[in-house]
């Protein structure tokens, strides 16, 4: 019995030695779990406290975002549907300064791809990394975008935007104007029609990946509204004709600039408006371009109209009932003295009738007619014609000109205003005044957009007076007048020349002139009115009849044919009264 018990004890001891030690295992497992728990806590503390910036940056890369849906600006077309301004999709390059490496090799490659100076690129990047978005170059061409994309640089991204493009380039630049980097109108009709042309960007919720690429559209928050299409009254064909001939004339006569305007006498619609010097709205606007070429001289530049003012003095005379076209006016001996000034003609024309004063462009005759009126009566008539008053065409920067109050007129002021001094106008203002003569005495309301229905103008003279003036203006383009070079074969043409000295530093320069011509056609039923001003022609020719009138003839000849205006016959042959000549 005792032996069996001892044997059993030995067996139990051997068994216990062979079985695993569960207490040690349990302690080991508990220790391991404790270490894992401590590691997790330490990692959590590290990320939540010590690596907050890293987590925020990573979180910003991978979550829902609300992004804008860009829209294009409305298309601008001419009256025949030809596009003048369109918005095309392009790409813009931006960077996240926190991700972009600043080493020399990276920045040199990026600057080369974007065609920028290295210093310019560095100037765009902040020294510290507190910003997450910086534009490097906006609205770039496809080749530049591909070059930037091919670098595959961390922190450099491309987004789609829209860029304004002007197919007509310089030809319509001054009328259309341009937009800024945000595609908002800054000049010209782009600015005037901003509310119609500018669209409204949409918004949508998306999911972006770590490279800011949209991987999923979640929902549309706001639908985009594209800009509305706008049709202008401009005729690109006439615009090109006027641009080409004006540029050639400025170059030929070595002038410092010029402007030309064509309006429809029936509707008041502006059909063409060009200036020199011009600029390319699709290119980079240099300092020189900003200094001299951006403004629309046809509406912003004031000048004294010279002899183109004489028809309105005669109109006042005819309207008064004290004069008729055949009323005699003595101009001998070719000069006329008023206190403070001697007014002269280039020839002694002797006895002229009122029509002859216009045909020969007699300063003496026009001054005598003007001085025969009470100054208030004459001033009120010129005021009624719109001189010195805003036209309210809606074009930005429009000037209203200047007509001194009659209370400040001395006899010399009343005399010289008869041949266009002491009063200032714009080319568009002068063209509109002549349109009243073409439209039987109704001063039109100007418009840069087509009109479906006629807008009543302002009556400023009787139809009889307007018709009598048109006969006089037609004689100016005859062999006896000062504007023979304004003639257009097959059409009856009327108009008036002007040659004015420029005022500078308080004095009139001896050799600085403005050459002007304002005309209309066809005289049987006037439809088009055109005003031309060449600024400081420096060649041997400087008279309006020799410098500006030929431009009118070339442009008007093309315009009448393009608009299918039927010929109304050759110029009538006038009966000679005095020797040819005059101040053209």
Rounded distance between C-alpha atoms, residue 246 and residue 121, angstroms: 42
**285 CB-side CA count, 13 A:** 18
Q: Provide CB contacts within 8 A for 196, sequence distance 6+.
A: 74, 227, 228, 230
Can you spell out the DSSP letters for 257-311? EEEEEEEETTT-BEEEEEEES---TTS---HHHHHHTSS-HHHH--B--GGGGHH
Asked, as a colleague might, if the bond just before 277 is cis with ω within 30 of 0, I would say yes
CB atoms near residue 195 (< 10 Å): 9
Catalytically annotated residue among 92, 198, 307, 424: 307
* Cα torsion angle, 399, 405, 410, 416, sign: positive
Rounded distance between C-alpha atoms, residue 532 and residue 242, angstroms: 10
Torsion on CA atoms 282, 288, 290, 293, rounded to nearest 10:
-80
Rounded distance between C-alpha atoms, residue 151 and residue 333, angstroms: 83
Name the residue among 329, 387, 339, 388 with its Cα closest to residue 363: 329
Question: Are 446 and 439 spatial neighbours (Cβ–Cβ below 8 Å)?
Answer: no
Name the residue among 432, 87, 82 with its Cα closest to residue 232: 82
**Strand partners of residue 88:** 163
- Helix residue ranges, H only, 477-562: 544-547, 549-562
- Helix residue ranges, H only, 394-529: 411-416, 427-438, 463-476
320 labelled catalytic: no
Q: Where do we find the tokens 């004459």?
A: 378
DSSP 261: E
Q: Which residues are catalytic?
A: 307
């Amino acid at each position: 019995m005792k032996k069996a018990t001892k044997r059993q004890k030995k067996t139990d001891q051997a068994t216990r030695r062979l079985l695993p030690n569960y207490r040690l295992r349990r302690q080991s497992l508990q220790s391991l779990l404790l270490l894992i728990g401590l590691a997790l806590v330490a990692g959590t503390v590290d990320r939540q406290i010590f690596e907050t910036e890293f987590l925020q940056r990573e979180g910003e890369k991978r979550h829902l975002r609300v992004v804008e849906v860009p829209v294009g600006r409305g298309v601008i077309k001419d009256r025949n549907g030809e596009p003048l301004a369109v918005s095309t999709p392009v790409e813009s390059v931006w960077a996240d300064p926190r991700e972009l490496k600043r080493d020399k090799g990276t920045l040199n490659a990026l600057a080369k791809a974007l065609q920028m100076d290295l210093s310019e690129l560095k100037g765009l990047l902040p020294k510290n990394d507190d910003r997450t978005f910086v534009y490097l170059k906006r609205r770039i061409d496809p080749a530049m975008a591909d070059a930037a994309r091919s670098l595959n640089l961390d922190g450099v991204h491309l987004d789609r935007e829209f860029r304004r493009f002007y197919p007509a380039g310089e030809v319509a630049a001054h009328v259309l104007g341009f937009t800024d980097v945000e595609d908002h109108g800054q000049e010209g009709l782009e600015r005037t029609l901003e509310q119609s042309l500018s669209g409204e960007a949409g918004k949508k919720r998306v999911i972006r990946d770590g490279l800011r690429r949209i991987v999923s559209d979640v929902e549309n928050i706001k639908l985009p509204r594209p800009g509305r299409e706008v049709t202008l009254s401009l005729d690109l064909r006439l615009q090109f004709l006027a641009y080409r001939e004006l540029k050639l004339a400025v170059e030929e006569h070595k002038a410092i600039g010029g402007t030309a305007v064509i309006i429809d006498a029936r509707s008041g619609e502006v059909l063409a408006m060009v200036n020199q010097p011009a600029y390319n709205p699709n290119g980079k606007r240099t300092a020189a371009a900003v200094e001299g070429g951006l403004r629309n001289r046809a509406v912003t530049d004031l000048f004294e109209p010279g002899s183109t003012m004489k028809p309105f003095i005669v109109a006042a005379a005819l309207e008064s009932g004290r004069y008729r076209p055949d009323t005699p006016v003595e101009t001998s001996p070719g000069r006329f003295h008023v206190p403070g000034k001697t007014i002269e003609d280039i020839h002694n024309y002797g006895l002229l009738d009122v029509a002859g004063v216009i045909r020969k462009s007699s300063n003496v005759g026009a001054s005598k007619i003007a001085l025969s009126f009470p100054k208030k009566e004459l001033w009120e008539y010129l005021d009624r014609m719109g001189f010195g008053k805003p036209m309210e065409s809606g074009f930005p920067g429009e000037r209203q000109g200047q007509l001194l109050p009659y209370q400040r007129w001395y006899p010399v002021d009343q005399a010289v205003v008869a041949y266009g001094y002491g009063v200032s106008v714009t080319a568009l203002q002068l063209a509109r005044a002549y349109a009243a003569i073409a439209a039987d005495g109704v001063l039109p309301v100007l418009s840069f957009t087509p009109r479906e229905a006629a807008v009543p103008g302002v009556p400023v003279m009787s139809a009889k007076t307007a018709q009598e003036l048109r006969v006089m203006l037609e004689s100016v383009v005859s062999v006896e007048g000062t504007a023979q070079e304004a003639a257009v074969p097959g059409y009856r043409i009327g108009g008036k020349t002007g040659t004015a000295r420029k005022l500078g530093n308080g004095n009139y320069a001896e050799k600085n002139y403005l050459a002007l011509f304002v005309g209309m056609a066809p005289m049987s039923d006037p439809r088009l009115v055109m005003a031309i001003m060449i600024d400081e022609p420096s060649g041997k020719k400087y008279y309006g009849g020799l410098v500006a009138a030929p431009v009118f003839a070339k442009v008007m000849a093309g315009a009448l044919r393009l608009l299918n205006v039927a010929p109304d016959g050759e110029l009538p042959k006038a009966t000679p009264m005095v020797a040819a000549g005059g101040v053209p």
